[in-house]
Amino acid sequence: MCYAIPGQVMAIDGRYLTIRYFEETRRVINELPGMTVGEFVLAQGGHVISRVKPAEALATLETWRDLFHVLQERDAGMAVLDTPPPTPDALQKILDDALAGTAPDRATMRRLLALDDPGELGRLYKTANAIRNRHHRNSCCVHGILEISSHCRSFCEYCGLAADVPQPHRYRMSREEILAAVNEAVEIHGFRSLVLQSGEDPHYTVDELAGIIREIRARHGVLVCVSFGEIGLDGLGRLFDAGARGLLMRFETSNPVLYAKLRKNRTFDQRLAHLRRAVELGYLVMTGGLIGLPGQTLDDQVNDILLAAELRAEMFSFGPLLPSGNHHLDGVKLPSEEQVLRTLAVARCVAPPDAKVLVTTAFETLSPTAREKGLMAGANSVMLNVTPLRYRPAYAIYAGRAHAEETITSQIRGAVALLQRLGRAPTDLGAREA
């Protein structure tokens, strides 16, 4: 239900279009043939996903016109910073530099991640929110996530889907079920960006997944993102050729030693090779790490954020470690709400201007106020679960998942109400034209 506001093509430069809606311009990638100046298109994540007939486009723009500007003004008002102290302290200098576009260095990131004074944390969050507003205005991407299988061949010690965790009700959706769920999400509920996710399930061959993606793109104007784990560098290319344009794959930790302890028979270099190949292919890469891993240090957290930035992640995805039913990490102390918020805010200060920062479902599971607080601390993306309700309990990646029993309609209603209160528009055409 990440609504796509139609944009009119103003200029064409090879595979790039400049599109305009209201007073906003965007530069987007176009892969549709025969595009001409003056046409209307829908775009998501910087990619054109479909053409729109002029009458339909103009009607949609008219519907959005007044609300769009009201929301934009509301968000701008909520992103205003407090008056700085007459004599700026060291923290204020750091925040002013971040607001001016100078990302904090490693030592400064460590300091920000260690803040515990409520007043100082409030200043950090407000600065991150102002940076978010400067680069993205009031745009907030709302992806749908469709979990097609809870089977997994991996043995990750932090995950409830690990192959050695007893799960009596694992499932996998058939091709027909997947296509039906996508149709409901796109045609009934209005989602324009979907993540297809599963455990590393060898039941689906790359060719089968590619065929499903091709069919989705043939039927629907939607940005297709994939999250199937490590399917091989060749597999990434084949899914990209089939029409997938986003990859959700967290590296979990940038510390190779810690990584080896958490993911049996896997290496950090393997994971990083997948991510780098995805960048080369042109995927919108959504990545990040877990917060609160046993043995994780502040330096590890700094390196996690910097690695996501180095990969020029389209979306920074950092969420808390939660109990999963996997006995390997029983008894681990949960990270605090503030620990997660600090990470999101620092990520926003370090991230490339066009990157999004996600409020993860895991964070919403940790804290009932996570979505609002995260969005006010620099985040501008959330995910709603469009998996059929009958399957969601069996996708037990961690215990007590937020929204697991909510209908799609209920999730949309709650998300839209919050976004409107915060002045955010559930749209994602891509980065603003400079």
- For the chain, what percent of residues have pLDDT higher than 90? 87
pLDDT at 323 over 90: no
| pLDDT 10s digits, 177-201 | 999 999 999 999 999 999 999 999 9
- For the chain, what percent of residues have pLDDT higher than 70? 97
The pLDDT-based confidence of 331 (bands split at 50, 70, 90) is confident
pLDDT at 433 over 80: no
* Per-residue model confidence (pLDDT) at position 426: 86
pLDDT at 22 over 50: yes
| pLDDT 10s digits, 414-431 | 999 999 999 999 876 544
Q: Compute the C-alpha angle 265/248/375, nearest 5°.
A: 125
pLDDT at 1 over 60: no
- Give the mean model confidence (pLDDT) for residues 155-183: 94
* Per-residue model confidence (pLDDT) at position 75: 97
Q: Please state, rounded to an integer, the average pLDDT across all residues of the chain.
A: 94
Q: Which domains does the chain have, with CATH numbers?
A: 7-77 (2.30.30.140), 135-422 (3.20.20.70)
- Give the mean model confidence (pLDDT) for residues 274-295: 97
| pLDDT 10s digits, 60-103 | 999 888 998 999 999 999 999 988 777 779 999 999 999 999 99
* Per-residue model confidence (pLDDT) at position 11: 97
pLDDT at 305 over 70: yes
Q: Which has more confidence, 275 or 325?
A: 275
* Per-residue model confidence (pLDDT) at position 434: 42
- Give the mean model confidence (pLDDT) for residues 207-223: 97
* Per-residue model confidence (pLDDT) at position 325: 77
Q: What's the pTM?
A: 0.96
* Per-residue model confidence (pLDDT) at position 329: 75
- Give the mean model confidence (pLDDT) for residues 213-241: 97
Residue of 337, 260, 251, 263 whose CA lies nearest to 301: 251
Q: In the numeric block, which tokens belong to residue 340?
A: 């997660």
